Amino acid sequence: MKKPLFSERTAWDLTENDLARDLGAARGEGRALVDLTESNPTRAGLADTAALVALLGDPRGATYAPIALGHPTARAAVASYYAERGLDLPIDRVALSASTSEAYGWLFKLLTERGDKVLVPAPSYPLFAFLAQLEDVELVPYPLMREAGFRIDLHALEAAIDEDTRAILLVHPNNPTGSFVRRDEAEALEAIALRHGLSIIADEVFGDYAFAGLPADRLPSFVGPRRALTFVLSGLSKVVALPQLKLGWIGVLGPDDVALEAMRRIEVIADTYLSVGTPVQLALPEILAARGPIQAAIRARTARNLVALDAALAALGAEASVRRLPVEGGWYAILEIPRTRDEDAWVQLFVRDEGIIVHPGYFFDLPDEGFLVVSLLPPEATFTAAITTVIRRLGEA
């Protein structure tokens, strides 16, 4: 029998769903749509970053001198970024990648064999399923308990571990719940990892975007002294709102012997790809040094949009069947909505009737029906008008 032309790992269902058809029809009719799922900071009108992009034109970038783990000045800039936040990440524990997505691929290569398992939070971002499938890794979800402010269900997490489990993945703060890991949870996770011989992967791309009043019992970062082998991921996509520059990093924490062995192996993986561009590495110290105003603009935008969302909810009255779930950071908010329609029906209604795009909750693996997810990044006037319409329609259900 002739073998299939393509691999099973790329056998995705690429058929167009009802929402995609509705969006295509609306755009084909020339309708103006307000996108409350917008997460691309370069389209949100936040800050003029052209001068930072121009730094990539430095003549030094004309010379190609590849270094697998990254240029020393770039790795030092990442270490300085953490030092300015009061966190210690030695330069020799930093590896540069083209993105956090690529970093996940490297870590799955480093830690797993075909068919091995990685624990992932639910809710979380849907990209993980594709990244894992491409590496022949099985993802096993562990729940974040909504009723407890999305605290990790540590008992369920440990019960999900078996002989094929290799790592625990965290998104910190979580996307889309915006919840930070608590300090006691982090200690418990380390104990579980040590007990079962696992690594911890902490995705901290939204780590700079905590809302005011973050409780003191929340862990600001997994960077620091760690008992278990821990990988902390971040990059320019969120830290400086410049995803097009394609630079991320991995911080490797834990006991010296195992962390240095991990670095040696990551160096070989990185040397196989050499994917990070020289110009962006050379510009990284100046780019990271300029992050302050950009991050301030994002924090101000998301905070004001959250206020507008809450004002629209307050206008419905205390007895309304719509509410916002608590959020501690990040760029998203979750709405609990009437279950008079399923999530797809609500999403399609907003596109067809109001020209507004929102995410269904199941897109992020929210465990129950009855949620919508919106981005807090759109311009404030646009967001306020659109979210007021969304809340009003939900309140009429």
Q: What is the rounded distance in angstroms from the CA atom of residue 292 to the CA atom of residue 319?
A: 41
Architecture of domain 15-44+293-395: Alpha-Beta Complex (3.90)
| Nearest residue to 229 (alpha-carbon basis) of 268, 256, 249 | 256
Model confidence pLDDT, tens digit, residues 72-91: 999 999 999 999 999 999 99
Q: What is the mean pLDDT of residues 19-33?
A: 87
Q: What is the mean pLDDT of residues 353-374?
A: 95
Architecture of domain 63-289: 3-Layer(aba) Sandwich (3.40)
pLDDT at 353: 94
CA angle, 74 as apex, 292 and 101 as ends, to 5°? Answer: 80
When pLDDT is cut at 50, 70 and 90, the band that residue 131 belongs to is: very high
Q: What is the rounded distance in angstroms from the CA atom of residue 381 to the CA atom of residue 397?
A: 25
User: What distance lies between CA 90 and its chain's CA centroid?
Assistant: 24
State the alpha helices, DSSP H only, in the chain. Answer: 18-28, 50-54, 72-83, 100-111, 127-134, 154-159, 183-196, 236-239, 256-273, 278-289, 291-316, 343-349, 380-395
Tokens of 62: 């004309």
Q: What is the rounded distance in angstroms from the CA atom of residue 46 to the CA atom of residue 25?
A: 30
- Pick the range with the lowest mean pLDDT from 21-25, 232-236, 351-355: 21-25
How many Cβ atoms from other residues are within 10 Å of residue 218's Cβ? Answer: 18
pLDDT at 25: 87
- Whether 15-44+293-395 shares its CATH topology with 63-289 is answered no
Q: Is the pLDDT of residue 1 over 80?
A: no
CA angle, 291 as apex, 289 and 296 as ends, to 5°? Answer: 140
pLDDT-above-70 percentage for the chain: 100
When pLDDT is cut at 50, 70 and 90, the band that residue 319 belongs to is: confident
Question: Which residue ranges make up each domain of the chain?
Answer: 15-44+293-395, 63-289
**Run of H or E residues at 171:** strand 165-171
pLDDT at 88: 97
pTM: 0.96
Q: What is the mean pLDDT of residues 293-305?
A: 97
pLDDT at 22: 84
